[in-house]
Amino acid sequence: MFLKLEFQEHKLSSAGLSSATRYLLGILITVLSAALAFVIIRSEKAAPDLATLATNKLNLSGVENPVTAVLLNFRSYDTLLEIAVLLIVAVSILPDRLPIPAATAKIQFLSNMHPHSVNPVLVGLLKWLIPLAIVMGGYLLWTGAYTPGGAFQAGAVVAGAGVALSLAGHHRFIWQTASVRISLSLGLLMFVMVAAANAIITGTTLQYPTPYAGSFILIIEVAATVSIAATLLLLFTQLKAMVEFTMKGNNQ
């Protein structure tokens, strides 16, 4: 919905403030920041650190990477709500009109645009690059249990594959399909489902039964990867559509 905003040349740099006000604001912010920095440097760090506590409990978390343990086990509720934030973004930018008349073709998420000229080198590269990116995403997802990696990184790489496909110009994404709506909400759906299942199994929401903790975390991460990749790709294609729309408007 934000795409309808016509972007014109605004003089945002000055924001309508006089130069004296801007200097005063600058001085004020500098002084406040300096005071804050001074207070922080003078202060002492609290002795019992949560990081050591998390490391001590790592063997109970089902994964070996402390970051994944915190994100998806110790503080999984925060991550659950963050996935919900992603869904808010996705719903807000989901286009409401089809780019093509609905009757002309069967609506699929990925549709060929049948361009006049096809670059064979580009097609050849994409045939290698896109499967590679998807495999790489899978690897990052799997390795998140042991080393840095996980759903967000994997989702970003998979979305990158989609961006490459979109930039090549041979295909177009149609966001009004049921599969899109399911992919966008899959991460949150799986997370809520796992939380509910845990409540039945162990009696406490989001408490995984210890031997299966790793499996539950993997289920959530796979679903989250799909949603994150879909949301990032949606963001990219919508921004691209907005730029194209603006350029078309300027040319006329």
Partner 1 sequence: MTHFSIMMLLPMTVGLPLLAAIVSVIINSHRWRTSISTMFATIQTLIVILLLLAIPDADGLYRYTLGGWGAPLGIDLVVDGLSLILLLTTTVLVLVLNLYSIWYFSDVATSTRFWPLWWLLVAGLNAAFIAADAFNIYVALEMIGLAAVALVALTGTRTALVAALRYALVGLLGSLCYLLGVVLLYRAYGTLDLAQLATQTQASPLTGSALCLISVGLVLKTALFPLHFWLPPAHANAPAPVSAALSALVVKASFYLLMRFWLDVLNPTVTGITANFLGVLGAAAILWGSFAAFRTQRLKLLIAYSTVAQLGYLFMLFPLALTGSSPTPLSNAAVTAVTYFIIAHALAKAAMFLAAGNILASCGHDKIDKLQGLVCYQPLALLTFALAGVSLIGLPPSGGFIAKWLLLNAAIENGQWWWVVVMLGGGLLAAAYIGRVINIAFSQASTEKSTGPMKTVPERHSLQVNLAMPGLALAMLAILLGFNAQWILNLLEGSIELHLANAGGVQ
Tell whether residue 146 is a contact of partner 1 (CB under 8 A).
no
Tell whether residue 244 is a contact of partner 1 (CB under 8 A).
no
Residue 207 or 246 with smaller CB distance to partner 1: 207
Tell whether residue 48 is a contact of partner 1 (CB under 8 A).
yes
Tell whether residue 57 is a contact of partner 1 (CB under 8 A).
yes
Tell whether residue 245 is a contact of partner 1 (CB under 8 A).
no
Site size for partner 1 (CB under 8 A): 56
Tell whether residue 202 is a contact of partner 1 (CB under 8 A).
yes
Q: Answer whether 155's CB lies under 8 Å from 186's CB.
A: no
- What's the rounded Cα separation, in Å, for the pair 230 and 110? 12
Q: Work out which of 74, 152, 173, 216 binds partner 1, going by CB under 8 A.
A: 74
**CA-CA-CA-CA torsion sign (249, 3, 106, 233):** positive
Q: How far apart are the first and last CA of the chain?
A: 23
Q: Work out which of 63, 68, 71, 73 binds partner 1, going by CB under 8 A.
A: 73
Tell whether residue 42 is a contact of partner 1 (CB under 8 A).
yes
The CB-of-150 to partner 1 minimum distance in angstroms stands at: 18
Tell whether residue 89 is a contact of partner 1 (CB under 8 A).
yes
Tell whether residue 248 is a contact of partner 1 (CB under 8 A).
no
Stretch that binds partner 1, among 82-90, 102-110, 137-145, 244-252 (CB under 8 A): 82-90
Q: Work out which of 5, 12, 20, 103 binds partner 1, going by CB under 8 A.
A: 5
* HEC-encoded secondary structure of the chain: CHHHCCCCCCCCCCCCCCHHHHHHHHHHHHHHHHHHHHHHHHCCCCCCCHHHHHHHCHHHCCCCCHHHHHHHHHCHHHHHHHHHHHHHHHHHHCCCCCCCCCCCCCCCCEEECCCCCCCHHHHHHHHHHHHHHHHHHHHHHHHCCCCCCCHHHHHHHHHHHHHHHHHHCCEEECCCCHHHHHHHHHHHHHHHHHHHHHHHHHCCCCCCCHHHHHHHHHHHHHHHHHHHHHHHHHHHHHHHHHHHHHHHHHHC
Tell whether residue 241 is a contact of partner 1 (CB under 8 A).
no
Chain centroid offset of residue 171 CA: 22
Tell whether residue 17 is a contact of partner 1 (CB under 8 A).
no
Tell whether residue 94 is a contact of partner 1 (CB under 8 A).
yes
Q: Work out which of 195, 228, 232, 233 binds partner 1, going by CB under 8 A.
A: 195
Q: Which residues bind partner 1 (CB under 8 A)?
A: 1-2, 4-5, 35-36, 39-40, 42-43, 45-50, 53-54, 57, 73-78, 80-82, 84-85, 87-89, 91-92, 94, 96-97, 178, 181-182, 184-185, 188-189, 192, 195-196, 199, 202-208
